[in-house]
């Protein structure tokens, strides 16, 4: 069994799961063109969910914090990106360069908000309730409710239309296969973030500290590292990833409401 | 001057008062042994020195500086390493990663690494293996190696022989003797024979207080005192 586990690990371990699922789906779907279309769509959706959930996983894994308010970062990221895109509406139809600049600004805006909100959230809301799961649930649920009300107050309850850059509209048709361009973009961005996180966690000293901190926070401190600073950094990173995921999800749905994150 | 001087250290964990005023001095060089029955407060003493539990009144002077109340990371940076009872290794990290994390600048001093390989050859053999796959003895070696991968003035070691095979205990004893040539070791140990073979100075802790301190040679020669303080029969 150990040998089987070692072989499985060598060939990618848990990363093989999507490949196996895709293979099973290929058999079940039958038609290759439908399979490609659905697989790309599923991967894109999965990548957006990955962006939103990876922060939650990092924060729970390293800090043992149950952050029910994580979805607030997703909602804010979506609304901030959507507002920037709406404000730069003229750029979206002004050629690829201007539209790309608008999109980049929207994503950077969402990420910046996520970093700042993460810093605020960790220092003001989470820090007093470390090691107390019940209070974490209560206070982060409260923060989520307050966040939704803030979104309602700022953006109103009417569904907000998210404009998309023209170059991300439509689909590529290759034979019988139809691939939506926005989904491809979402997949590519998710893949870049995934690779970035892999490099950060597996090839840098910070990543080594995060992995060690997940296992034994006390020992990391005893080795001379201030784990609180690491916690703040990880929380900010997690919040920024959630906001980025929210921004991407907003572009995917094109009509968003304050309950987007909670949903 | 002592390397470490503890005066009237009291530690409370939750509602329990565990240390009621611990005082002892650890001279520079060699192995200082802290003995005591189960639950006497030995581990709490080490954890309090390391700042993992904050001692209230009293002082913990290290190299002439009061370190009581400092954060654990700051205490570690002053040159104190800690080898906990549960070894505290990071199982998901490789042997190399466990050790590199303990270096100050993220790279090894070749001479120190050679010394670690010489003391614990198994670590070189399993260099790229994840630490969870090591045996209990190898994990203990890794934990001790992590404490000496950088120069330290003092290493706090908590019951390193617990659950280890006699051959590994003997190897560990040899390693401690070698390490103690350059670094002071404060060793908590229940295995009296092991402690006796290593220690120069010692203290006995009971019910959160130091009830005896002196040289190991004198204590080892006094069977009545051992019986009274540790429950050892002649």
pLDDT band, very low/low/confident/very high, at B122 (cuts 50, 70, 90): very high
More confident residue, A22 or A220: A220
Contact call for B101 and A216, based on CB within 8 A? no
Contact call for B82 and A222, based on CB within 8 A? yes
Phi-psi bin for B39: left (phi > 0), alpha (psi -120 to 50), beta?
A: left
> Which of B72, B76, B101 is opposite residue A212, by nearest beta carbon?
B101
Cα separations in angstroms, B189 against A242, B82, B160, B199: 49, 14, 7, 10
Cα(A51)–Cα(A238) distance, integer angstroms: 9
B:70-89 residues touching chain A, CB 8 A cutoff: 71-73, 76-77, 81-82, 84, 88-89
pLDDT at B173: 95
Q: Is A219 helix (H, G, I), strand (E, B) or coil?
A: helix
Contact call for B93 and A216, based on CB within 8 A? no
Contact call for B90 and A223, based on CB within 8 A? no
Nearest Cα of chain A lies from the Cα of B57 at a distance, in angstroms, of: 22
Nearest Cα of chain B lies from the Cα of A216 at a distance, in angstroms, of: 7
> Which of A212, A216, A226 is opposite residue B73, by nearest beta carbon?
A226
Contact call for A219 and B106, based on CB within 8 A? no
Cβ contacts of B50 on chain A, cutoff 8 Å: 222
Give chain B's domain count: 1
Phi-psi bin for B224: left (phi > 0), alpha (psi -120 to 50), beta?
A: alpha
Cβ contacts of A227 on chain B, cutoff 8 Å: 73
Best residue of A224, A229, A230 to probe chain B, by most B CBs closer than 10 Å: A224
pLDDT at A83: 95
Q: How many CB atoms lie within 10 A of CB B5?
A: 18
Instruction: Name, in order, each residue with C-beta under 8 angstroms of A47's C-beta and a sequence gap of 6 or more.
Output: A186, A187, A189, A190, A191, A194
More confident residue, A38 or B117: B117
Contact call for A222 and B97, based on CB within 8 A? no
Contact call for A224 and B104, based on CB within 8 A? yes
Torsion of CA B51, B56, B60, B65, to 10 degrees: 90
Tell me the mean pLDDT in the region B154-161.
96
Predicted confidence (pLDDT) per residue in B72-117, tens digit: 999 999 999 999 999 999 999 999 999 999 998 889 999 999 999 9
Q: How many CB atoms lie within 10 A of CB B97?
A: 19
Q: Name the one residue in this structure whose structure tokens are 């703040």.
A: A232
Instruction: Name, in order, each residue with C-beta under 8 angstroms of B172's C-beta and a sequence gap of 6 or more.
Output: B137, B140, B141, B144, B160, B161, B164
Tell me the mean pLDDT in the region A29-50.
87
Closest CA to A79 of A98, A100, A105, A106: A106
Q: Name the one residue in this structure whose structure tokens are 């994503």.
A: A107
Give yes or no for a contact between B95 and B126, defined as CB atoms under 8 angstroms apart: yes
pLDDT at B58: 79
Contact call for B52 and A209, based on CB within 8 A? no
Contact call for B90 and A226, based on CB within 8 A? no
Cα(A102)–Cα(A95) distance, integer angstroms: 11
Predicted confidence (pLDDT) per residue in B197-214, tens digit: 999 999 999 999 999 999
Phi-psi bin for B79: left (phi > 0), alpha (psi -120 to 50), beta?
A: left
Predicted confidence (pLDDT) per residue in A122-153, tens digit: 999 988 898 889 999 999 999 999 998 999 99
pLDDT at A1: 58
The answer on pLDDT for A58 being more than 90 is no
More confident residue, A53 or B178: B178
Token pair of A145 as six digits: 């409710």
Cα(A138)–Cα(A143) distance, integer angstroms: 9
Phi-psi bin for B134: left (phi > 0), alpha (psi -120 to 50), beta?
A: beta
Q: Is B209 exposed, middle or buried (0-12, 13-18, 19+ CB in 10 A)?
A: middle
pLDDT band, very low/low/confident/very high, at B233 (cuts 50, 70, 90): low
> Which of B88, B100, B104 is opposite residue A219, by nearest beta carbon?
B88
Cβ contacts of B91 on chain A, cutoff 8 Å: 215
pLDDT at B29: 93
The answer on pLDDT for B234 being more than 70 is no
Cα-based angle B115, B117, B121 (whole degrees, multiple of 5):
140
Query: What percentage of residues in chain A have a pLDDT greater than 70?
Result: 98
Query: What percentage of residues in chain A have a pLDDT greater than 90?
Result: 46
The answer on pLDDT for A202 being more than 70 is yes
> Which of A209, A211, A226 is opposite residue B92, by nearest beta carbon?
A211
Cβ contacts of A226 on chain B, cutoff 8 Å: 71, 73
Residue of A nearest to B53 (CA): A218
Residues in chain A: 263
Predicted confidence (pLDDT) per residue in B32-83, tens digit: 999 999 989 999 999 999 999 987 777 899 999 999 989 999 999 999 999 9
Instruction: Name, in order, each residue with C-beta under 8 angstroms of B166's C-beta and a sequence gap of 6 or more.
Output: none
> Which of A212, A216, A224 is opposite residue B76, by nearest beta carbon?
A224
Contact call for B52 and A223, based on CB within 8 A? no
Predicted confidence (pLDDT) per residue in B135-154, tens digit: 999 999 999 999 999 999 99
- Interface predicted TM-score of the whole assembly (ipTM), two decimals: 0.92
Nearest Cα of chain A lies from the Cα of B82 at a distance, in angstroms, of: 7
Contact call for A222 and B92, based on CB within 8 A? no
Which H helix or E strand runs over B31?
strand B31-36
Q: Is A29 exposed, middle or buried (0-12, 13-18, 19+ CB in 10 A)?
A: middle
Token pair of A157 as six digits: 């309850």
pLDDT band, very low/low/confident/very high, at A19 (cuts 50, 70, 90): confident
Contact call for B71 and A221, based on CB within 8 A? yes
Contact call for A221 and B93, based on CB within 8 A? no
User: What sign has the CA pseudo-torsion A165, A166, A169, A172?
Assistant: negative
Tell me which residue range forms the domain holding B71.
Answer: 4-230
Contact call for A225 and B73, based on CB within 8 A? yes
Cα-based angle B149, B201, B164 (whole degrees, multiple of 5):
55
Helix axes A96-120, A227-253, angle to 10 degrees: 140
Residue of A nearest to B51 (CA): A222
CATH number for the domain harbouring residue B64: 3.40.50.300
Largest CA distance in chain B: 51
Tell me the mean pLDDT in the region A101-114.
95
Nearest Cα of chain A lies from the Cα of B31 at a distance, in angstroms, of: 21
């Amino acid at each position: 069994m150990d040998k089987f586990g070692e072989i499985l690990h060598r060939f990618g371990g848990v990363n093989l799961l999507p490949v196996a699922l895709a293979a099973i789906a290929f058999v079940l779907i039958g038609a290759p063109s439908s399979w490609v279309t659905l697989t790309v769509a599923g991967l894109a959706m999965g990548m957006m969910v990955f962006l939103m959930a990876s922060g939650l996983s990092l924060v729970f894994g390293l800090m043992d914090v149950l952050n029910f308010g994580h979805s607030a970062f997703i909602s804010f990221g979506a609304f901030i990106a959507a507002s920037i895109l709406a404000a730069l509406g003229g750029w979206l139809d002004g050629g690829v360069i201007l539209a790309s600049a608008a999109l980049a600004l929207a994503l950077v805006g969402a990420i910046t908000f996520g970093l700042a909100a993460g810093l605020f959230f960790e220092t003001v809301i989470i820090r007093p309730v470390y090691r107390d799961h019940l209070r974490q649930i209560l206070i982060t649920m409260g923060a989520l409710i307050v966040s939704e009300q803030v979104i309602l107050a700022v953006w109103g309850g009417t569904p907000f239309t998210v404009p998309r850059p023209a170059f991300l509209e439509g689909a590529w048709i290759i034979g019988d296969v139809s691939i939506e361009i926005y989904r491809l973009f979402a997949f590519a961005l998710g893949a870049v973030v995934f690779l970035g996180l892999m490099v950060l966690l597996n090839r840098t000293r910070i990543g080594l500290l995060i992995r060690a901190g997940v296992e034994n926070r006390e020992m990391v401190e005893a080795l001379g590292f201030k784990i609180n600073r690491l916690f703040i950094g990880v929380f900010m990173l997690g919040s920024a990833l959630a906001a980025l995921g929210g921004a991407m999800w907003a572009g995917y749905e094109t009509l968003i409401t304050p309950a987007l994150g909670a949903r | 001057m002592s390397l470490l001087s503890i005066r009237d250290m009291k530690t409370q964990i939750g509602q329990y008062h565990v240390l009621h005023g611990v005082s002892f001095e650890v001279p520079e060089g060699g192995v200082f042994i802290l003995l005591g029955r189960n639950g006497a407060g030995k581990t709490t003493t080490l954890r309090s020195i390391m700042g993992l539990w904050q001692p209230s009144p009293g002082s913990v002077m290290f190299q002439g500086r009061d370190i009581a109340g400092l954060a654990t990371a700051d205490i570690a940076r002053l040159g104190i390493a800690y080898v906990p009872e549960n070894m505290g290794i990071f199982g998901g990290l490789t042997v190399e990663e466990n050790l590199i994390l303990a270096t100050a600048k993220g790279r090894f001093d070749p001479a120190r690494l050679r010394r670690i390989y010489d003391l614990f050859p198994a670590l070189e053999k399993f260099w790229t293996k994840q630490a969870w796959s090591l045996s209990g003895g190898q994990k203990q070696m890794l934990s001790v190696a992590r404490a000496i991968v950088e120069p330290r003035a003092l290493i706090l070691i908590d019951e390193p022989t617990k659950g280890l095979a006699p051959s590994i205990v003997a190897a560990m004893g040899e390693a401690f003797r070698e390490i103690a040539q350059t670094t002071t070791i404060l060793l908590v140990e229940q295995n009296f024979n092991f402690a006796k073979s290593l220690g120069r100075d010692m203290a006995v802790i009971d019910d959160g207080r130091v009830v005896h301190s002196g040289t190991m040679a004198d204590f080892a020669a006094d069977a009545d005192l051992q019986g009274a303080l540790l429950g050892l029969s002649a």
